[in-house]
Amino acid sequence: MHKAPSSSFSTASTEHEVSMDNPSDEADREVEEFQAKKRDWRKNEFQQLLSRETDKHRLHCFDLATSGVSASGVQSTSPRAEAPIPREKLWEIGLDEILNKGPSKVACDLSQRSLEKLLQIPYGNFVRRALDLPSDQIKTSLWTYEVLDAKLYFDLIKSPQHLNQLQDLKQSLAKLKSDPLIYATIDYTWQEASRAVLQCPAYEGLNGAGVGGLAFRLEATLDKFITRPLQEVLERADSAERLLQDLQVLGIRLHNSLRPLEADWSTPLNNRNDFLEQLRWNDVPALASLISRKDMALFRDYVPIAFTKDGAQARSILSSRWNQLMVDVKECMAAGIGLESKIDGLAQVCWNRLNFNINSDRPFQALHTTCNYYSLTAVVQGIQASGLQTECSRKYGKLIDPTGGYQAYRSGMGGSHALHFLLPALSAFARKDLTYLEVVTRDLSLYIESHRGPEDSPVRFNFLAIFTSCFRC
């Protein structure tokens, strides 16, 4: 039979019986025990940071500067009285609303409300869960899904003729690619109500907090998409200070990923951050050179194709590279991890011409790095999107002013030998305006030529062929 939702402060059991005769299960258990020991060691390391004023604020951000972290791991907490769930946190939805509004409209509402509930959970609670520390706010939030399940279940038991409407709601949620928490709840309710209405015996362990029950499913889903990626960060062989920086950046990423238009539940939270690693290990000129070399290779391979009728994929690749750098900068700036001045300097180095004296035994006798407006504008846009005002954003923000168009951009830059900001040129190309196509391809050719080594053949783009292909679009 369908069980009532568990207490808001009860802990769902997620332990499986392990057969000692099964080597695979035994190996999995040993791996989990090893990872748990690593997390305990990490808690102890975080505790040592409490004596350092510079790191206290980071620990407080994650609610770790408390008695919950100690030299001996997790301390026992005193019993709490179960607080009533605020009414605004409960789901104001029932079978009547599904019938009145229709499954599609209710699916949109549920999906949005579910994301709002996740956004209301302070990020530090997810970090605490990743460290096997208690988080009452997560438990309370997950319990509200159980309340919704119980409410809809008993509505359907009283009105079994409307069971198909719940199935339609489940299908609508699937089409919306809604978050897996609300989908798991509706799917579980539909399965349980179907068994009850059709008088099919429920299999053992399906209900309540047991393996297969809703509470178990909700916790497993949350762990898969959020908790486990955070645990992977905590298990890295790196200093606690660096890991706290990683976690702060991930907090910004998680918050942005839970916005309705940004939410993507096809994969767990991405915990990689190559840009942050490059920012740590390279000085500003070296990083600017590294970024420009990658950009140059990308432009060489895709820019000539991008301005043709068959260039949709090339345009997508070029836009993705720009967008990724912009997002990386935005996350690192908004996280406030102490690298803001370095990022601001990166934009200025991207702008200025740099001259490096290369040893005579190197392939290039002299590397002349010119203006990389492509990455410069991505960095500027990322700084502005973070909400911070810096010298760079004030000085170069006009380059990406959407009201100025390509002419305003061109007036703000000088010289050739450039990797251009492509958005204005591609936007003009979409309108079949080829005014700036020659500028982009000519300056790219000169840029690559200026970086050509003795063993490289000259690079020239056939502008006439590109121009002709544009008229076939």
153 pLDDT exceeds 50?
yes
The candidate with the shortest Cα–Cα distance to 343, out of 411, 249, 234, is 249
Q: Between 340-351 and 284-306, two packed helices, what is the crossing angle to 10 degrees?
A: 60
274-470: what fold?
Son of Sevenless (SoS) protein; Chain S, domain 2 (1.10.840)
Backbone dihedral angles phi then psi of residue 369, each to the nearest 5 degrees: -90, 120
The candidate with the shortest Cα–Cα distance to 263, out of 172, 184, 179, 169, is 179
Q: What is the pLDDT of residue 442?
A: 84
Q: What is the pLDDT of residue 369?
A: 41
Contact 308, 473 (CB under 8 A): yes
Three-state secondary structure call for residue 366: strand
As a whole number of angstroms, the distance between CA 58 and CA 45 comes to 14
396 pLDDT exceeds 90?
no
Q: What is the pLDDT of residue 16?
A: 41
Average pLDDT of the chain?
76
Q: What is the pLDDT of residue 386?
A: 93
Which range, of 297-306, 399-408, 449-458, averages the lowest pLDDT?
A: 449-458
404 pLDDT exceeds 70?
no
327 pLDDT exceeds 60?
yes
18 pLDDT exceeds 60?
no
Residue 74 to residues 38, 51, 131, 388, Cα–Cα distance (Å): 13, 19, 9, 37
Q: State the average pLDDT over residues 73-89.
A: 42
| pTM reported for the whole predicted model | 0.76
Express each pLDDT in 106-125 by its tens digit: 999 999 999 999 999 999 99
209 pLDDT exceeds 60?
no
316 pLDDT exceeds 50?
yes
136 pLDDT exceeds 70?
yes
Which range, of 104-108, 128-132, 425-429, 467-471, averages the lowest pLDDT?
A: 467-471
Q: State the average pLDDT over residues 25-36.
A: 69
**In the chain, domain spans:** 23-257, 274-470
187 pLDDT exceeds 60?
yes
Which range, of 88-92, 188-192, 215-219, averages the lowest pLDDT?
A: 88-92
Three-state secondary structure call for residue 426: helix
Q: State the average pLDDT over residues 81-88.
A: 48
Which range, of 170-184, 422-436, 457-471, averages the lowest pLDDT?
A: 457-471
As a whole number of angstroms, the distance between CA 66 and CA 192 comes to 41
225 pLDDT exceeds 50?
yes
Which range, of 8-17, 126-135, 403-412, 435-444, averages the lowest pLDDT?
A: 8-17
296 pLDDT exceeds 80?
yes
418 or 62, higher pLDDT: 418
359 pLDDT exceeds 90?
no
